[in-house]
Amino acid sequence: MERSKDRPRQSSSAPPRRSGRAERTRLKRLRRRRLIPLGIGLVIVAMTIAITATYSGGRSEALGATSSTTLPATTSSTAPAVVDATALARSVKANEMGQVLVLMYHLIAHDKSEYNRTPEEFRQDLADLKARGYYPVNLSDFATGNVQVPAGKTPVVITFDDSSGGQYRINADGQLDPNCAVAIMQEMAGQGGWASRASFYPLIDVDAPDHVLFGQPEFAQKKLQQLVAWGYEVGSHTVTHLNLQKAAVAEIKKQLYISEHTLEQMIGGGYKVTSLAAPFGGYPAQISLLKSGEYQGKSYSYSTALKATGGASFSPFSQSFYAFKIPRIEVTGTTLKDALAVFDRSPGLRYISDGDPDTVAVPANLDPSLGSVRTGLGEKVVRY
């Protein structure tokens, strides 16, 4: 049979036709030969990537990088500046040997009593203090030298005796009476540049219901707990406003124990009552009775006590300071204005904070009337 003219002829050099099985075997061998170099190449690439990642990871770890795909926040490589305590004290004219005002309030109401301060007057008192660079601290913190006040500011201790309703009142809607002392202080703190700090000395059992734990017996415990939660201090004023100067020793011990124990139990949470405001400013012949004692086998103790008069207080860092006879200024009429004027006329007598509770800044020209620096202070004394 004749070949088609259009069909090409096989070259004489073409390999002979293989069977289907032989051809498949040949193709498999060819593919294996082609895959071997490719596999070797992939292995080499993988090893290169691994080595690079390890090297980079080591560098990243050494540089503080993270494995997250999100870059870490950039931090400054500059070491924090070392604060020069002497320069800081000098810059704000710090004098932590200066005197401190410990103010005493009783009634906050529209009352004609000599012990009264109207809500408007109390607001103005706080505004004047703040405008003149004062900053509140609790009595127990002041007495122990834990005076945490911004640099350039002056600590002031605000105290309240007798727990009248005008000091802390809750209205029928459950909200603070905006004209009570606590609400006024909270408002001031909310404006900034002021703190929720003051010390309250409540009565527990007296004939005047409005003076028993701020009146409103249904809220008594809540008020005490809330005061502490806000940052205020609660101390003892005895149970019945006992005159410690005239009372028998046994009665003094009884009331100091019951007052301390009752307040601590009502406040709860491990709160410790550590300060005492002596009613009428009267002191027993044995002042050691105020520090500690026992009643029916149970002990009480206090670390500081307040008088009712005496003017400005020495600094807690002064040798002249006595924690159990801290003087106070009762705020009536122009007494606060007059006390502030003394410091205006003699700024060297005023306590000015350096802002560091771990140091006590003392100027070289310290007024001798302020006393000498106490020995054995835990804080570093910075003189400039």
Nearest to 257 by CA among 203, 200, 295, 283: 295
Tell me the two tokens of residue 44. Answer: 């080499």
> Roughly how many angstroms between the first and final C-alpha of the chain, as a whole number?
127
What integer pLDDT is reported at residue 82 of this predicted model? 54
What integer pLDDT is reported at residue 112 of this predicted model? 84
In sequence order, which ranges of 133-190 are alpha helices (DSSP H)? 139-143, 181-190
Secondary-structure breakdown of the chain: helix, strand, coil percentages, each rounded to the nearest 5: 35, 20, 45
Q: Using N-to-C axis directions, what is the helix angle for 335-345 and 119-131, rounded to 10°?
A: 10
Kindly report the pTM of this predicted structure.
0.79
220 contacts 213 by C-beta, under 8 angstroms:
yes
Cα distance between residue 158 and residue 235, in whole Å: 13
Q: What is the pLDDT of residues 332-356, one digit of tens each?
A: 999 999 999 999 999 999 999 999 9
What integer pLDDT is reported at residue 139 of this predicted model? 98
Compute the radius of gyration of the chain from its Cα atoms.
40
Q: What count of other Cβ atoms lies within 10 Å of the Cβ of residue 198?
A: 25
Residue 234 zone, left/alpha/beta (φ > 0; ψ -120 to 50; rest): beta
Pairing mode of beta strands 298-301, 116-117: unpaired
What integer pLDDT is reported at residue 111 of this predicted model? 87
Residue 150 DSSP one-character state: -
One digit per residue, the tens of pLDDT, for the chain of length 384 reads 433 333 333 333 333 344 444 444 444 444 444 444 444 454 444 444 444 444 344 433 333 333 333 333 444 445 445 569 999 999 999 999 999 999 999 999 998 888 899 999 999 999 999 999 999 999 999 999 999 999 999 999 999 999 999 999 999 999 999 999 999 999 999 999 999 999 999 999 999 999 999 999 999 999 999 999 999 999 999 999 999 999 999 999 999 999 999 999 999 999 999 999 999 999 999 999 999 999 999 999 999 999 999 999 999 999 999 999 999 999 999 999 999 999 999 999 999 999 999 999 999 999 999 999 999 888 899 999
Instruction: Give residue limits of the domains in the chain.
Output: 98-347
- Any residues with CB less than 8 A from the CB of 159 and at least 6 apart, and which? 102, 103, 104, 105, 139, 198, 199, 200, 201, 277, 306, 328
Nearest to 233 by CA among 171, 185, 180: 185
Tell me the two tokens of residue 312. Answer: 């400005």
Q: Which CATH architecture has domain 98-347?
A: Alpha-Beta Barrel (3.20)
Residue 348 DSSP one-character state: G
Exposed, middle or buried: residue 365 (CB in 10 Å: 0-12, 13-18, 19+)? exposed
Q: Using N-to-C axis directions, what is the helix angle for 249-267 and 220-230, rounded to 10°?
A: 80
Nearest to 201 by CA among 113, 128, 103, 287: 103
Tell me the two tokens of residue 64. Answer: 């503080």
